[in-house]
Structure 1
Amino acid sequence: MKVHPIPADVLARARALAGADEHHELHPDAPGSPLRCCLRKAAPGEPLVLFRYSPPSGRGPYEEVGPVFAHAAPCAGPDGATDLPDDLGRAPRTLRAHTAGGRIHRGETTRPHELADRVAALLDDPAVAVVQVRSASHGCFLYAVTRD
């Protein structure tokens, strides 16, 4: 499996617009917020940007826009892109499996200890191109997973 945070170009635009409009809020301190740039939770005192994001895997009527947090300044990104982030996997998750054409093929909610197995099972289906991992409580996009 390969884990994909939000792309660098999207993060750069969001950081450049931080505080400039109602869609790019600057947050000087939001500890515990899930960061989509490095796929971990924010530590106290880390400046963040909160912005709207629509993952490219859902298109047309399946396109979803939701709030996401990232560091307000560039960071090193995630530690390793093949393991599901432990720091973001400690709560129930919604999985949305999309086809290459951007349609939802399957969806389910999973518990933390089943997350890796359920993502792998969805990716075993040849019709699935990408799995979005989302917050089960808020529906927010966390990261995408594809085959290696």
Structure 2
Amino acid sequence: MPRFTALPTDLVQAYRAGGPDAFGNPPERKILDGAGNPCRHCLRNIPAGSEMLVLAHKPFDGTHPYAEVGPIFLCAGECARGGGADLPDILTTSPDYLIKGYSADDRIVYGTGTITPTPDIQARVAAIFADPDVAYIHVRSARNNCYQTRIDRDA
């Protein structure tokens, strides 16, 4: 069964310590004053009134034409790394998400990208992984294209 993979704890700890984001800037610290924003580490929504980090993140190694960079949010305080086979909380707050498969060399596998209704995510993931060229999947916001999480094949 595929597994949802949160950002690595060591990377998140580096951001929390002021380490540079994808553009070399320290993460911005904000107090969340409204509805929860999705933390890419615990894969839960950050509670209103909590401190959060806002930063540019590139979920790829190196630079190449498919290495998208975009804003993400993280809990500013400690949180347990999320992930696993179940749909994470952060993917239950929107009616749909952009889902697309990538090859082992980090290139989009054309024909896999689709805006998927939230209740259909698991079925769409299974259909994308039926393509042997797909090594992993990214889930992004359907409205803002923000990276949400990675989905890996079961080991």
Tell me if TM exceeds 0.5: yes
Structure 1 residue 23, shift from structure 2 partner: 4.7
Q: Deviation at 1:57?
A: 7.2
Q: Report the TM-score, using the length of structure 2 for normalisation.
A: 0.85
Confirm whether residue 136 of structure 1 aligns to residue 142 of structure 2.
yes
| Native 8 Å contact 1:131 1:145 kept in 2 | yes
Q: CA deviation at 1:87?
A: 3.9
**Identity in percent:** 34
Q: CA deviation at 1:59?
A: 5.6
12, 27, 35: which one aligns with 2:30 = 27
> If each structure's helix is expressed as a fraction of its own residues, which one has the higher value?
1
Query: 1:23 & 1:144 partners in 2: Cα distance?
Result: 23
Where 2:4 maps in the other structure, the secondary structure is strand
Unaligned 5+ residue runs, structure 2? Answer: none
CA RMSD of aligned residues (A): 2.2
Of stretches 56-65 and 9-18 in structure 1, the one that deviates more from structure 2 is 56-65
The one-letter code of the counterpart of 1:52 is A
Q: Indicate the residue corresponding to 1:99 in structure 2.
A: 103
* Mapping of residues 1-148 of structure 1, within 5 Å: 1-17=2-18, 23-30=26-33, 31-56=35-60, 60-78=64-82, 81-91=84-94, 92-105=96-109, 106-148=112-154
The number of equivalent residue pairs is 146
**For the Cα contact (< 8 Å) 2:4–2:152, is it kept in 1?**
yes
Which consecutive residues of structure 1, in runs of 5 or more, have no partner in the other structure? none
Q: Secondary structure at the match of 2:148?
A: strand
